[in-house]
Amino acid sequence: MYPKQEVVAMLLAGGQGSRLGVLTQKLAKPAVPFGGKYRIIDFPLSNCVNSGIEAVGVLTQYQPLVLNEYIGSGQPWDLDSMNSGVSVLSPYQQIKGTDWYKGTANAIYQNINYIDRYNPDYVVILSGDHIYKMDYSKMIAFHKENNADCTIAVIDVPLEEASRFGIMNTNPDGSIYEFEEKPKHPKSTNASMGIYVFSWDKLRKYLIEDEETEGSEHDFGKNVLPRMLEDGQRMFAYQFEGYWKDVGTIDSLWEANMDLLDPNVPLDLMDESWKIYSRNPVVPPQYIADTAKIQNSLIGDGCDIGGELEFSILFSNVVVKAGAVIEDSIIMPGCVIEEGAVVRFAIVSENTVIGKNAVVGARPEDIENKDEWGIAVVGDNLKIGAGAVVAPKAMIAEDIEGVE
Amino acid sequence: MRGNRILGIIFSNLHEKLISEITERRTMGAVPYGGRYRLIDFPLSNMVNSGINKVGVLTKSNYQSLVDHLGSGKAWDLSRQRNGLFVLPPFLDPADYANRVSTFRSIKPFLENSTEEYVVISDCDVICNIDYQKVFEKHIENNADITLVYKRDVLPAKLHDPMVLSFDAKGKVTDVLVSPSISGTCSYYMNMMMIKRELLIDLVNKCVSKNTMNFKRDMIQAEYNTLNIYGYEFKGFAPIITSPAEYFNANMALMNSEVREDLFRGDRPIYTKVRDDMPAKYGLDSKVKNSLIGSGCVIDGEVENCVLFKGVYIGKGTKVSNCVIMQDTKIGANSNLSYVIVDKDVTVRDDKTLAGQPSYPVYVSKESVV
């Protein structure tokens, strides 16, 4: 018998994140490294713990090995209690057949048993590809105050960007009267953050109904939420103020990392009252050599830095040899940047070696045709040979021979 | 490798007077070292990396910070269903832990109830990365009763009651001198040994019955003729903390890449309690050279030849050189520090100057405000 949990969180972590290309070739998007030591999933997981949520189901499907291993027992997030904590929920074989998670709503539907055993009043649906710090307990309190059936977190976005999001149009009391999915002419700028609070009895009913509806894509945004609105359920928009970023593309992932270096961006990872927990590597502190020059950068444990860094984020165990230059780039764990290599506006994935005098990426001002410029991305466990050149915007998935 | 035949025992409280300021409010084992560690991390990790999965930590007094650091032993993989970490404070009277022999007597139930055939014993004031499996192999090969780990070097100044050993060609101990006046290279005991558990219990019983309670003189010196005592030479980096200057030097030695490679080997990592700090942040005007920087540091000033622990802040216009700065200490703007050991949670306000000497670093105690 499981003790009752007032709130259960369900974290949708099955997405492939195909727009991240080589970065998600071998791992699910929520497992992508972020910010010099974290993985994206650390943010929603830490938010759950810091909000007092003790039962978290993580729904995995695409390339789950790294993610499952990372979550493990849940100990780093204090989610390894005896009768609650984190549970990794993969699709499974059932009496009536075997199914992948067909959509976001279907993924929750297939795990009704997991939720039921905690007998919760509320279920929070989260996604595993956003960087933000949020106290879900405040949103749940808002949900209760309004006696709502469903509450959707929204964030004010610039009008010109509003057509990229799902827009919630609300009455003055905050209740939602209309959804518009990626509208051409948005009526408001309240973008859905993909964070929902449901009263469990209502959600349960709608999930079962949706499962039986032919032609449904079993998706929250496309099917379940519109259906609830049609039925006149109490749906409210919860205004979130603070930093929130979808890191589903190379550009947004790069920007969100760089935001950590901007003192004007309200995403403080040093805040003791709202820590972001993660699995920590067992390595010594970083060593900064005589030859190093470091400006405005974040550096993880175990790094050995002899080169020049500017506006860059280095994860653990990165070696930067003397004479190498890294600017405006993200270097993931275990990479080696050899002497004379120059890395600019790039993301280099884990354990890759950038050879002597190789050049990866370029500054936008050094490129004539701006359409050819973009963040260069080098996949994991690759070798970029000495003197090789990786063009801006390139996405490298194989070794490149040296030219020296 | 589970079900190891060796039991680990760590003395966490010895020789604290040698660095009395740093150990005023903590045990030797809880002394911070190397930007993120406590001294006990080294013997604990060495034991765990050698396959040992039962370790008793002996601690006499001032052990709050040690217990806080160790927790359940999870960080060293010693939070186990079977065996794991045992913190062993005195049962009733701290005087029971007055010396090594009486300490062993006090933990006799622990020794007797353990099933491991051998015991490896270490102090906390020796910093090294040693593979006890190798010591064990030698111990078996020599059919030894006791194997003493030693180092061949000049005797460290102020080493407490040094025990100097002589050997025959096979490495068997042929002479034992305790606190000799000696200059030049010698083989001195590193306060680490391997012994059969039952023999340890017998020797302790014998000493207690005769009331001869000096470990080095009565358990080793008096027995080397009757027992098979062998030496095992440790050749790696192994400073012993015998003074604040030695503590300072042992930290500074980490600027040498060979020392770091020897101490923090990838195949035998040093584990420690984690704290979930963010990566270290270097500001726009930071200048950092030849330094070891812990996670969570924020550096807006200049740092040279320093060890900075987790969460240290260095303000704009400030220069710190040749310093050891422990965790969460904040140093304001336009200050100047050289040859200073700054303990935890210290605040150094703006425009302050503190300077020590290479042979005599200044020490600023925990939680003080300068």
Is 60 exceeded by the pLDDT of residue B3?
A: no
Q: Is A170 on the interface with B (CB under 8 A)?
A: no
Average of pLDDT values for A104-125?
A: 95
Q: Which amino acid is at B327?
A: Q
Nearest by CB to A270, from B260, B278, B290: name it.
B278
Could B276 and A277 be called an inter-chain contact, meaning their C-beta atoms sit closer than 8 Å?
yes
C-alpha to C-alpha distance for B38 and B40, rounded to whole angstroms = 5
CA distance B368 to chain A (A): 21
Could A288 and B276 be called an inter-chain contact, meaning their C-beta atoms sit closer than 8 Å?
no
Q: Is A137 on the interface with B (CB under 8 A)?
A: no
Average of pLDDT values for A42-49?
A: 96
C-alpha to C-alpha distance for B274 and A287, rounded to whole angstroms = 19
Name residue B147's beta-bridge partners.
B194, B230
Nearest by CB to B293, from A76, A275, A286: name it.
A286
Residue whose token pair is 């300072």: B248
Alpha carbon of residue A340 to chain centroid: 33
Could B290 and A289 be called an inter-chain contact, meaning their C-beta atoms sit closer than 8 Å?
yes
Beta-carbon contacts of residue B313 (< 8 Å; ≥ 6 apart): B297, B298, B299, B300, B329, B330, B331
Residue whose token pair is 């894509």: A217
What confidence score (pLDDT) does residue B120 get? Answer: 97
SS (HEC) of B72-107: CCHHHCCCCCCCEEEEECCCCCHHHHCCHHHHHHHC
CA distance A51 to chain B (A): 18
What pLDDT digit, counting tens, does each position of B177-222 carry? 999 988 899 999 999 999 999 999 999 999 999 988 888 898 899 9
Q: Is A286 on the interface with B (CB under 8 A)?
A: yes
Could A284 and B264 be called an inter-chain contact, meaning their C-beta atoms sit closer than 8 Å?
yes
pTM: 0.91
Could A298 and B280 be called an inter-chain contact, meaning their C-beta atoms sit closer than 8 Å?
yes
Could B278 and A298 be called an inter-chain contact, meaning their C-beta atoms sit closer than 8 Å?
yes
What pLDDT digit, counting tens, does each position of A58-111 carry? 999 888 889 999 999 899 999 988 888 999 998 887 777 777 888 899 999 999
| Tokens matching residue B135 | 């010591």
Could B269 and A282 be called an inter-chain contact, meaning their C-beta atoms sit closer than 8 Å?
yes
Could A290 and B290 be called an inter-chain contact, meaning their C-beta atoms sit closer than 8 Å?
yes
Could B279 and A296 be called an inter-chain contact, meaning their C-beta atoms sit closer than 8 Å?
no
Could B290 and A280 be called an inter-chain contact, meaning their C-beta atoms sit closer than 8 Å?
no
What pLDDT digit, counting tens, does each position of B157-168 carry? 888 889 999 999
Q: Nearest-CA residue of chain A relative to B283?
A: A296
Could B293 and A294 be called an inter-chain contact, meaning their C-beta atoms sit closer than 8 Å?
no
Q: Is A360 on the interface with B (CB under 8 A)?
A: no
Residues A185-207 as b or e (16 or more Cβ within 10 Å = b) = ebebbbbbbbbbbbbbebbbebb
Nearest by CB to B279, from A289, A290, A298: name it.
A298
Q: Is A23 helix (H, G, I), strand (E, B) or coil?
A: helix
Interface test with A, best of B254, B270, B288, B330 (most A CBs within 10 A): B288
What confidence score (pLDDT) does residue A220 get? Answer: 92
Q: Is A160 on the interface with B (CB under 8 A)?
A: no
In A, which residues are within 8 Å of B285 by CB distance?
295
Q: Is A285 on the interface with B (CB under 8 A)?
A: yes
pLDDT band for position B1 (cuts 50, 70, 90): very low
Q: Nearest-CA residue of chain A relative to B301?
A: A295
Average of pLDDT values for A383-388?
A: 96
Could A278 and B276 be called an inter-chain contact, meaning their C-beta atoms sit closer than 8 Å?
yes
Q: Taking chain B, what is the end-to-end CA distance rounded to the nearest angstrom?
A: 50
∠ CA B276-B278-B284 to the nearest 5 degrees?
165
In B, which residues are within 8 Å of A282 by CB distance?
269-271
| A399 DSSP 8-state letter | -
Note whether B28 and B16 are within 8 A (CB). yes
C-alpha to C-alpha distance for A112 and B341, rounded to whole angstroms = 58
In B, which residues are within 8 Å of A288 by CB distance?
288-293, 303
Is 50 exceeded by the pLDDT of residue B2?
A: no
In A, which residues are within 8 Å of B276 by CB distance?
76, 275-278, 280
Q: Work out the burial of residue A257: count CB atoms within 10 Å of its CB; fewer than 13 is exposed, 13-18 middle, 19 or more buried.
A: buried
In B, which residues are within 8 Å of A334 by CB distance?
none
Q: Is A300 on the interface with B (CB under 8 A)?
A: yes
What pLDDT digit, counting tens, does each position of A139-182 carry? 999 999 999 999 999 999 998 888 888 899 999 999 999 998 88
CA distance A396 to chain B (A): 27
In this predicted complex, what is the ipTM?
Answer: 0.88
Average of pLDDT values for A300-326?
A: 97
The residue with greater pLDDT, A161 or B318, is B318
